[in-house]
Chains A and B, each alone.
Chain A
Amino acid sequence: MLISLGIIIFLGAVSLIILFWGIATYNKLVTLRNRYENAFSQINVQLKRRHDLIPNLVETAKAYMSHERATLEAVTQARNLATQAGTAAAGKPGDPALMSALAGAEGQLGAALGRMMLVAEAYPDLKANQNMMSLQEELSSTENKVSFSRQAFNDAVMAYNVQREIFPSSLIAGGFGFQAAELFEIENPGEKEVPQVKF
């Protein structure tokens, strides 16, 4: 009787430990997921601020570079697309399709802005405009903040993905449908071009 009781107790203890480990792992995954979702909202604040600045910038530039309508329209269009992509991504941060769409749209916006700044080089009056200067300053500071919060988001995504993929916890992640999250990397073709034209 003692032996069978011993076996029952042993099995009970083992299953209890497994159960507790399972709950702890599940909770940890949920916490990590919440964390990267929160981190995304930080990026979104900065992206929105950036998007809000752009119409003012275009408006200011319009007065000086009326011949460059196409360039300015490209910026406005890229900005609208990026705003849409941002709203979509905020609904489900980390989703691979939405994140790469957002990264693409932001990349396009960066490129369009870069082209506009290049063209603006030819308009010394515009460059000297006080309003333009402060807008540009604010824009670049917002971009720094975006990359700062992007780093935080990518750290959080990385921590979540690692927890999701390492062996014992991957069982829980698979069983409860925790999906892989996507990093947010903006490729900005415009950024690479800038140094070439400086002479």
Chain B
Amino acid sequence: MDFFTHQQQARRQSALLVALFSSAVLAIVAATYFSLCVISPVASPAESEFHNRTGQTIARDARIRWWQPELIYIATGISVFIIGLGSLYKIAQLRGGGSVVATALGGTLVSEDLDPDPHIKQLLNIVEEMSLASGIAVPPVFVMRNESSINAFAAGDTPNNAVIGVSQGAVDSLSRDELQGVIAHEYSHILNGDMRTNIRMMGVLHGILLIAIIGFYLIRFAAYAGSGSRNKNNPTVYLIMLGAAAVVIGSVGLFFARIIKASLSRQREFLADASAVQFTRNPDGIANALNKIRVNAIGSRIKNPEAEVASHLFFGNARGASFFSLFSTHPPLEERIRRISPILAGKLGGKSGPQTIPTGILREDVARVSSLHRESGNSARLDADKRSEPVVASGRELHLAPLRTSAVERLALDSFDSLLISAAHHGYTARFIVAAILFSTDGSIRKQQLELVEKYLGTAAKNETLQQHERVSKCSRLQRMQLLDICHASLMSLSISQVKAMQRLCSALVAADGQIELFEFMVERVLTYRMNEHSDLQIHRRGGTYKSYRTSKEAIGTVLSAIAHASGLSSEICEANFNVAMRQYFPNGREYKILGRSALTLHQVGAAMDQLAGTSLLIKEKIIDSAILLVGSDQKTTMQEMELIRALSATLALPTPAVPEFVT
């Protein structure tokens, strides 16, 4: 039950989705064509008159001509144009990142500063713990103040511009554990790559809906325009018929599109529930939250009208329980509770019988997960000879094992200086922490860096940065990495000129000592790529340009060679692992040759990563898969491996994957 399997599943479902939706579009084109065939003779009185002269029978035959090739072009043109326009409009709107969706749904950004409410503070803490547990940057949190029901959503198209939205009702009425379950559910949507599919789905639905909307306006317009003249041959009749046809086609199209959307969404919900349990290790939290929705009078219903299009982003049904389960984007609550916690379901009574439990996804998942845990626990005792061979066999499963519990992460959060954490929560002070993270251990270089801070952030920043540096210098390298994640939400709240100043400062700080070290390389890359997702910085991602491995062969080889060498093992073992990883994930893996340790520079690796950022999602995910296999081949992760993986996943805009047990 790892996120790669889920992402692959999400990809397969996306492919299915594309196929289903294309057939829906084809059906719409066909329907448009036939309705045009039916309507066209009516609109051309000249033509019908001509037939009337030649004879009644011919005229009747000619009234509907089923083969009019020129109409095929028109029908295809109209339908594809409307659906395309509607979809592109919506997708472009949603590409602005999760904050656009969250604002449209009536959410307001919350921070400790503006909301002294302890419930909000708790919510922000939970989000932070989950982020540390799942290795993604802390997302901004939105609260839907006007919604008293219990619901939540995740939106955004990459983990870096994702946001979490929670209804006021959920904040008020859920306990800490329950809220944690709900948030974990949303995180798994982010991690499992559901958000991208969700956004496309919203786009296409909007396109199909547009046909019906246009038809509706066409009828109204025609009725309005036609009311003046009473001429029998006037084109308003034609317009009304066209409009009626569009309404019918659009509605029928929407009907089927909603069924497709709902059925896919329901599957993803089960998986997200299962992953949430895996994250929190606490099935009762999420099960009780679901139960609270069940007994709540308004359940999870969202009042905001925008929720209709976004219904599949939510934790529970945003549109009341549908009378028609076919349209429901979420499985029935009882069913979800039963799969998560059969005991609770048993207490609730009702139709859920224990005999059906074994089919639940969750049971198998949890069993698998715990067996893997045992495996990884024993891994240290693996013999050396066993180790060299079963790399492939166990490698694939390796990254399934390290499931960090949130309890552990809460401890991790506690190990930080509390002043440092609260400083990381404000945009003002988070800048100084980031600068302090990049400070050199060398006193004279640090002096130079302090001047740079003064130059870019002002005089007051100098002292503040020194203060933060005192605290940061007590942190380990791993903690500094985590600090970057914690600062993310605050950094995303900076304004455009502040972000630009920050980016310039970071490059200047890194360049201050005239050389670049792996840690600096990682920090600069993570910051640059994350901040490029700022909604005001309109930097166009070049994702999906290169679909073939061949064009990026060199780049893949360079990046993975660097990761192979980062294991610190002898070069023979590195090469063997490299070859294994390549053969498993790339069809022509044998063509890739490992680069020598001495031939690699960080500059090269950086350029290679940049090139890979322009490849398609499929290639990106394979690269991450093989990187993880390489890191996991020796059952330990070195700091260098961890830093390279972080830099790579930030560049590719993918969530940082969980890696095997960390060894310093």
Residues of A within 8 A of B (CB): 1-2, 4-6, 9, 12-13, 16-17, 20, 23-24, 27, 31, 34, 38-39, 41-42, 45, 140-141, 144-145, 148-149, 151-153, 155-156, 159
Contacts and interface: CB of A to CB of B under 8 A. Distances in A.
A30 to B, nearest CB: 9
B498 A16 contact: no
A2 B428 contact: no
B89 A155 contact: no
A16 B44 contact: no
B113 A1 contact: no
Contacts of B271: none
B81 A155 contact: no
B113 A45 contact: yes
A11 to B, nearest CB: 12
A151 B47 contact: no
A148 B428 contact: yes
Contacts of B82: 16
Given A1-B47, A42-B114, A159-B536, A152 B85 contact: no
B89 A1 contact: no
Interface string B43-87: 110110000000000000000000000100010011001100100
B494 A152 contact: yes
A179 B379 CA distance: 66
Contacts of A2: 70
Specify the main secondary structure of chain B where it touches its partner: helix
B497 A151 contact: yes
Contacts of A155: 495-498
Given A9-B77, A45-B114, A151 B43 contact: no
Contact of A144 (B78, B108, B235, B460): B460
Interface residues on B, range: 20 to 34
A141 B429 CA distance: 11
Interface in B118-173: none
Given A5-B74, A151-B497, A145 B428 contact: yes
B91 interface: no
A13 B79 CA distance: 11
Given A2-B70, A9-B78, A27 B93 contact: yes
Contact of B85 (A16, A34, A145): A16
A106 to B, nearest CB: 18
B495 A1 contact: no
Contacts of B78: 9
Given A16-B85, A144-B460, A156 B495 contact: yes
Nearest to B43: A1
B466 interface: no
Contact of B495 (A34, A145, A152): A152
B431 to A, nearest CB: 9
A2 B89 CA distance: 29
B498 A42 contact: no
Contacts of B371: none
A140 B464 CA distance: 12
B100 interface: yes
A115 B565 CA distance: 64
30 contacts: A1-B46, A2-B70, A4-B235, A5-B40, A5-B43, A9-B77, A16-B82, A20-B89, A23-B89, A24-B89, A24-B93, A31-B103, A34-B103, A39-B495, A41-B114, A42-B114, A140-B460, A141-B460, A144-B460, A144-B464, A148-B428, A148-B498, A151-B498, A152-B494, A152-B495, A152-B498, A155-B495, A155-B498, A156-B495, A159-B536
Nearest to A152: B495
Contacts of A42: 113-114
B214 interface: yes
Contacts of B108: 38
B109 interface: yes
Nearest to B68: A2
A178 B524 CA distance: 40
Contacts of B497: 151, 155
A153 B464 CA distance: 22
Contacts of B428: 144-145, 148-149
Contacts of A13: 81
Contacts of A17: 85
Contacts of A16: 82, 85, 214
> Which 8 pairs, one residue from A and one from B, show the smallest C-beta to C-beta distance?
A155-B495, A152-B495, A1-B44, A144-B460, A148-B428, A155-B497, A20-B89, A155-B496
A110 B44 CA distance: 79
Nearest to B78: A9
B391 to A, nearest CB: 51
A45 B111 CA distance: 12
B133 to A, nearest CB: 29
Contacts of A45: 113-114
Contacts of B77: 9
Contacts of A39: 495
A156 B499 CA distance: 13
A159 B85 contact: no
Contacts of B43: 1, 5
Contacts of B114: 41-42, 45
Contact of B74 (A9, A24, A27, A145): A9
B100 A31 contact: yes
Contacts of B235: 4
B85 A1 contact: no
Contacts of A144: 428, 458, 460, 464
Contacts of A24: 89, 92-93
Nearest to A23: B89
Contacts of B536: 159
A41 B464 CA distance: 24
Contacts of A38: 108-109
